[in-house]
Amino acid sequence: MTALPEIVRGPLQHSILRRAAQKGLIDIQVHDIRDYATDKHRQIDDYPYGGGAGMVLKPEPIFACIEALQQQAAEAGQAIDDVIFLTPDGEVLHQKLANELSLKKHLVLLAGHYKGVDQRVRDALVTREISIGDYVLSGGELPALVLVDAVARLLPGVLGDATSALSDSFQDDLLDAPVYTRPAAFRGAGVPDVLRSGDHRRIAAWREEQRLAKTRERRPDLLDDH
What residues line the site for ligand ADE (CB under 6 A)? 86-88, 131-133, 135-137, 140, 143
Contact 102, 151 (CB under 8 A): yes
Contact 13, 26 (CB under 8 A): no
**2/87 with CB nearer ligand ADE:** 87
**37/93 with CB nearer ligand ADE:** 93
Least gap, CB of 167 to ligand ADE (angstroms): 27
Least gap, CB of 3 to ligand ADE (angstroms): 13
CA-to-CA distance for 31 and 17, rounded, in angstroms? 18
Helix (H) or strand (E) holding 200: helix 200-218
DSSP state of 160: S
Least gap, CB of 215 to ligand ADE (angstroms): 25
C-alpha of 25 from chain center: 16
Contact 66, 108 (CB under 8 A): yes
**2/215 with CB nearer ligand ADE:** 2
**61/88 with CB nearer ligand ADE:** 88
E-strand spans in 68-170? 82-92, 107-111, 116-117, 128-131
Least gap, CB of 119 to ligand ADE (angstroms): 16
**113/211 with CB nearer ligand ADE:** 113
Least gap, CB of 146 to ligand ADE (angstroms): 8
Contact 70, 127 (CB under 8 A): no
> Smallest Cα–Cα separation from 62: which of 38, 36, 42?
36
